Amino acid sequence: DAKTTQPNSMESNEEEPVHLPCNHSTISGTDYIHWYRQLPSQGPEYVIHGLTSNVNNRMASLAIAEDRKSSTLILHRATLRDAAVYYCILRNNSGNTPLVFGKGTRLSVIA
């Protein structure tokens, strides 16, 4: 699987937007960009995924660079419940493959 690079940690103030970056310079044409997050003592939770176009859902937005070598997960208004480790993962559209987790970004939200 192509690798991703994320900052180890980030901090945000409550109610402010958060932009979580991810670099994936070796992404292939069939790799989807997935984001998951893991709250303390819980299993990971799906956040969003995309291929080429920007994506929005009720949790977040995903902005994908035109060359697809990087992407940004956007939380529009951080809350204390958004404090988690966020994982950016590339996943090939080829069937029942598992997710390979990197170290992710630990997001702290300050009240």
Residues near other proteins (CB under 8 A): 32, 34, 36, 38, 41-46, 49, 51, 87, 91-104
Q: Which residue lies nearer to other proteins by CB, 67 or 95?
A: 95
> What is the closest distance, in whole angstroms, from the C-beta atom of residue 106 to other proteins in the complex?
10
Residue 4 CB neighbour total at 10 angstroms: 24
Q: Residue 25 corresponds to which tokens in the numbers above?
A: 């310079």
Instruction: Evaluate the CA torsion angle 55, 100, 3, 45 in order and state its sign.
Output: positive
> What is the closest distance, in whole angstroms, from the C-beta atom of residue 16 to other proteins in the complex?
27
First to last CA, the chain: 37
> What is the closest distance, in whole angstroms, from the C-beta atom of residue 78 to other proteins in the complex?
22
